[in-house]
Amino acid sequence: MDAEFWHSRWAENRIGFHLNDINPVLTKYWPAVKATRTDTVLVPMCGKSVDLTWLAEKHNKVVGIELSDIAVRAFFSEQFYIPMVTSLGNGQTVYDFDEITIYCGDFFATRIEPVEVVYDRAALIAMPQEMRQMYADHLLSMVKAGGRILLVTLDYPQAEMDGPPFSVTKDEVEQLFKGCKITALGRDEADESHPRRQRGLSRFAEEAWLIEV
C-alpha cells in the first residue's frame, strides 16, 4: 500500500470510505473519552470528514493529518472555510482555519506537538498488516501521557474481501497498543441487509475501543 494508491482513489473520486454525515460511532462513544474543551484532538487520515467540524464545535483545537491535497481542499471548500495555507518546505502543507488545522502530507513524516486525544475512524484499518505496528507506534508518539484514543476497527473474515478497509481483530488491537489500557466500548454486528454482507461477507462488525496511554 503506497501513497499513489490513495492519491489515485481521491483523484478518481473512488472514496466509498467517506461518510457524508457525522459518524454515529463518534457521537455515541465520544463521551467515554472524557475530553475537555481545551484538549487538542488529533484525527489521522482525516480525508474530508465532517467529523472534523463536529469535533471543532466541542474543542478549541482539532488537528487532522491527510495525505491527499484533493481531500484537504475539498474539506475546506465544502465547509465554506477559507484557510490560511503554509508550506513547511518538506513536502508538507498546513491548512489553518479557526479551530481546525490539517497537515497535508505523509503521516509518518508528520511531527506535531503531542495531543491529549485521538479519534481514529479510518486510519488503522487503512493500513496493511505489515504497516500497522509502525502506524501505532508513530501515533502513540503523538499522544501525551494520560492521553486517550477512540479507535474504530472492523472485524470480518479477511479472506472473504480484499482491503482496505482491513479487518483488525481484538487480539491485534491488544498487541498493537500493548502497555496501554484497552477497553472495548461496543460492537455493531451488521445484518444481511448491510452492503458489505450483500457483497458476500459471512459476517461484518464495527468495533469501538477506548485506549488509554
Average pLDDT, the chain: 92
Cβ distance 52 to 64 under 8 Å?
yes
> What would the grid cell of residue 52 be?
472534523
- Percent residues over pLDDT 70 in the chain: 93
Domain residue spans of the chain: 3-10+22-212
pLDDT for 178 equals 97
Q: pLDDT for 48-86, tens place per residue? A: 999 999 999 999 999 999 999 999 999 999 999 999 999
Which of these, 116, 132, 167, 114, lies nearest to 45 by C-alpha position? Answer: 132
What is the per-residue pLDDT across 133-188, written as a single tens digit (0 to 9) for each? 999 999 999 999 999 999 999 999 999 998 899 999 999 999 999 999 999 999 99
What is the value of pTM for the model shown? 0.94
Q: What is the residue whose three cell numbers read 513524516?
A: 109
Answer yes or no: are the C-beta atoms of 73 and 96 closer than 8 Å.
Answer: no
Measuring CA to CA, which residue among 70, 64, 66, 36 is closest to residue 52?
64
Stretch (H or E) spanning 66: strand 61-66
CATH of 3-10+22-212, one of 3.40.50.150, 3.30.365.10, 3.40.50.1100, 3.40.50.1000: 3.40.50.150
Gap between the Cα atoms of 160 and 30, Å rounded: 31
Q: How many CB atoms lie within 10 A of CB 199?
A: 10
